[in-house]
Amino acid sequence: MRTDVHTRAEPDPSKADPHSTLARGTPTDSPLPAADIFAGLTDPQRRAVTYTEGPLLVLAGPGSGKTRVITRRIAYLISCGIPAWQILALTFTNKAAAEMRQRVGALLGEGAIARGLTVSTFHALCARLLRRFADGADIPGLTSSFAIYDGADQLALVKAVLAQLNLSTANFQPRSVVARISAAKNELLDAPAFAARAGNFYDRHIARVFTAYEHALRTACAVDFDDLLLLTARMLRHTAAARNACRDRWQYLLIDEYQDTNHAQLVIASLLAGAPDGSPAPPDGPNLCVVGDPDQSIYGWRGADIGNILEFEEQYPKATVIPLGENFRSGAHILAAADALIRHNALRKHKDLYTSRPPGERVEVVLCNDEHDEARLVLDWFRTLQEDGATAPGAPDRISWKDMTVFYRTNALSRVIEDTLRNAGVPYVIARGTAFYEREEIRHALGYLRLVANPADDVSLGRIVNTPARGIGAATIGRVETAAAELGVPLLEALRRTALDHAGGPTPDLAVRTRAAIARFVRMIDGWTGRGAFMGHDGTGSLAGLVERVIGESGLEAMYRAGKTDADAERVENLAELVSSAREFEVAFDPSADPASDGAPGSAADPATPRPPLAALLRAFLEHVTLVSDADSIDPAQGAVTLMTLHAAKGLEFRAVAMVGLEEGLLPHSRASESPADLEEERRLCFVGITRAMERLVITTARYRTIRGLSTRTIPSRFLRELPPDHITVSDQAGIADSEDWSDDDRAQGGPTRSGAGSARESGRLSGSGLGTGSLVRHAQFGVGRVLTVTRGRDARARILFRDAGEKTIVLEYAKLERLDR
């Protein structure tokens, strides 16, 4: 045991005895005996739980009991007498945070939560800290009522900025501009810093956009996702009050999925831990425990730096490293397949994966003809598991729907699987937590609410000002926008001046009728906000009531009610659903659980905490809906098969897993197979998928796949060839082995032997499917025609003489050409 010379609390295993801790807390929240905390732990797990002082890196392989270690560790700290409010655990998804909170609660009783344990996502924590300290942090344009812009808002704003700067979206694709800005912010480069480094022509223009984009954000009193991290890092660095408050409170830091942290997150973690600049870290290093697995780093494209975890020992020379390699999740065949695959990564520190579990079933690799066959195969496989069981005859052990899952690389692949499951009556859910809040009607309703919460929010105003149509069209808004920019005021303010001033104020050339429409709009918004005096009364109304009022009085609900289609009826229901979700939020909202509230022992969980004003409640609700993620919606209690992307699968486990679409261009994805590093990340993604499976795993590849409406010949993924023959079985559903080129080594399992001759040549002309001069084709619009000439390469075109429509040039990639002479 180390001796602790600092002023922090000293955990001591001897205090794990409940009798000695009784004096510290009330009898009801007395920690459980140490014996329970350690129950069933292996030696390395136990070491990770009890090594509480100083930096610790836990290298947790898949299925190694990581979550268990983290939750027991928190419980152990508390049982040692560390006040719960001094502990901060950071995760990447709300789901992970909720699960952790719940499991600690189950270990300790709910008292621990009430006493202020902080379990949060990075982004949510940053949002809370910024709100708490923004007003004193001297960030220009930022007050604590800021809005958070999500990806869609970000894109909309960049488009507006591009238009304003007269830059063509052909040369500056909004998406890639967003990506550049985002990448810069993840490296903690703000617009001036980026501009200073912009060397070439293109980057100098990006810098202009970046600058204007930042200006627009601050004018709207808004931050984007990346700002949450960047501004927090900057605030912790430069604002002593914020930094000290955090350091005083959180003595024990725990970070999950550390391999997925980016530079900004690394800096935030370091500043919270007390390492760099200023206040001294303890000589042996801070009480910072990071947990992760470099082999499961899959967010490099989002700025995650795998170096953060690989270099942890360099950053903290006194760090202790505890590897957890034993796998308690997967059958031995499955684990062996995963291990063999990941060994193909060269840029990697090897870690032994081992299990004492029985071999279980082999991994099944199935070659299908197309995506429909693939979906049917998965369906049949699921049905068999559900009816007959997973294991060999004699040990019937049915697998229920909720224990099955389908993983795919891109969301587009889910459609065919969905259709097939739906038609077969198999219950399924898609892990799309954000889908609800991305629906048009919900975004509109939230647009109104966001404007109410933050009258400077020009992006939200632009979204809703003429929805439903109220006679304030694009031309009008364009003029008011110009006026607003000249006056340097938010759009809503410019509209108000236009409406109030009978001479037309800033926009004298607007029609009287238009001005009246604007006046009605401004009055409506003011009716909800009470012009500063929130809600027009004492500011303590109900959130659900406000939401209801807004969707009613705005005419949004009436607009959809007037529609006759089923889709319109659904939208009305969704609006009602939004009201209930606001009500649920309102009921569950606990201001004392806010990590930015004072963590001091006295104030935490004070039952006398007054009900928060409606404005604060509204902002918290909007923050909540903005920061939900796809993975958050995964609810195993649903009794349904779960469909999700491989990225959403991280951290989960299922008894039966189907991974589809193992094809070149898809996994590894074509956009990610350029550099070796990208390719290795794709392999890790595949590794993550495989290691989610406990008992059964099927991996499929389709010979033909419809991409953008065009049936395309595919090449099986190189990852399939990297799986060890001894641990897989290959079957050829489609009877297509003869023309196969997917493997040229002999498979042990009677996988069809095949000659590779000819296939490579064929796959070389992918885009034309062998189309040549003289081929007879049918086009969706032009009808039947004969090919005159074909060009090759990317965006290959064909000159075609159509029987009815005459001669046309067709881009093969996009046209839906049907081959008639085969």
Q: Which of 453, 385, 372 is nearest to 415 (CA)?
A: 372
Cα 78 to Cα 107: distance, rounded to the nearest angstrom: 11
**Least separation, in Å, of the C-beta of 701 and DNA?**
17
Beta bridge partners of 289: 56, 254
The values of phi and psi at residue 676, to 5°, are -55, -35
- Strand runs (DSSP E) across 294-384, as ranges? 320-324, 363-368
**Least separation, in Å, of the C-beta of 173 and DNA?**
6
Q: Which of 337, 426, 409, 370 is nearest to 749 (CA)?
A: 337
User: Measured from the CB atom, is 229 or 341 closer to DNA?
Assistant: 229
- Strand runs (DSSP E) across 692-754, as ranges? 693-702, 704-707, 710-713, 728-732
User: Measured from the CB atom, is 215 or 470 closer to DNA?
Assistant: 470
**Least separation, in Å, of the C-beta of 690 and DNA?**
17
**Least separation, in Å, of the C-beta of 744 and DNA?**
28
Kindly state the tokens that stand for 734. 């489609």
User: Measured from the CB atom, is 602 or 709 closer to DNA?
Assistant: 709
Q: Is 296 a catalytic residue?
A: yes
**Least separation, in Å, of the C-beta of 64 and DNA?**
23
Q: Is 257 a catalytic residue?
A: yes
For the packed helices 440-453 and 566-588, what is the interaxial angle rounded to 10 degrees?
40
**Least separation, in Å, of the C-beta of 312 and DNA?**
21
Beta bridge partners of 76: none
Is the bond into 192 cis (omega within 30 degrees of 0)?
Answer: no
Residues 492 and 473: beta-carbon distance below 8 Å:
no
**Least separation, in Å, of the C-beta of 182 and DNA?**
7
**Catalytic option among 67, 211, 529, 638:** 67
**Least separation, in Å, of the C-beta of 682 and DNA?**
8
Q: Which of 486, 410, 323, 474 is nearest to 685 (CA)?
A: 410
Q: Is 467 a catalytic residue?
A: no
Residues 714 and 373: beta-carbon distance below 8 Å:
no
The values of phi and psi at residue 777, to 5°, are -135, 160
User: Measured from the CB atom, is 98 or 412 closer to DNA?
Assistant: 412
Beta bridge partners of 87: 252
Greatest pairwise CA separation for the chain in angstroms? 93
Contacts 24+ apart (CB under 8 A), 23-31: 24/81, 25/111, 26/111, 28/109, 28/111, 29/108, 29/109, 29/111, 29/112, 29/114, 29/115, 31/75, 31/78, 31/79, 31/108
Cα 234 to Cα 240: distance, rounded to the nearest angstrom: 11
**Catalytic option among 150, 214, 256, 371:** 256
CB under 8 Å to 515, separation ≥6 — which residues? 498, 499, 504
Interacting residue ranges for DNA, rule: CB under 7 A: 92-93, 121-123, 150-151, 159, 173, 175, 225-226, 298, 301-302, 409-412, 415, 433-434, 466, 469-476, 514, 627, 629-632, 645, 647-648, 669, 671-672, 706-709, 814, 816
Percent helix, strand, coil in the chain, to 5, is: 50, 15, 35
User: Measured from the CB atom, is 747 or 778 closer to DNA?
Assistant: 778
Cα 456 to Cα 222: distance, rounded to the nearest angstrom: 8
**Catalytic option among 154, 261, 265, 296:** 296
Q: Is 371 a catalytic residue?
A: no
User: Measured from the CB atom, is 108 or 688 closer to DNA?
Assistant: 688
**Catalytic option among 402, 497, 549, 692:** 692
**Least separation, in Å, of the C-beta of 470 and DNA?**
6
Q: Is 60 exposed, middle or buried (0-12, 13-18, 19+ CB in 10 A)?
A: buried
User: Measured from the CB atom, is 614 or 672 closer to DNA?
Assistant: 672
Q: CA dist 407 to 119, 146, 253, 650, 691, Å? A: 28, 37, 33, 11, 12
**Least separation, in Å, of the C-beta of 228 and DNA?**
8
Give 506's Cβ-side CA count (13 Å radius). 24
3-class secondary structure, 492? helix
User: Measured from the CB atom, is 47 or 816 closer to DNA?
Assistant: 816
User: Measured from the CB atom, is 140 or 709 closer to DNA?
Assistant: 709
User: Measured from the CB atom, is 391 or 466 closer to DNA?
Assistant: 466
Cα 65 to Cα 325: distance, rounded to the nearest angstrom: 10
Residues 545 and 534: beta-carbon distance below 8 Å:
no
Active site residues: 66-67, 256-257, 296, 692
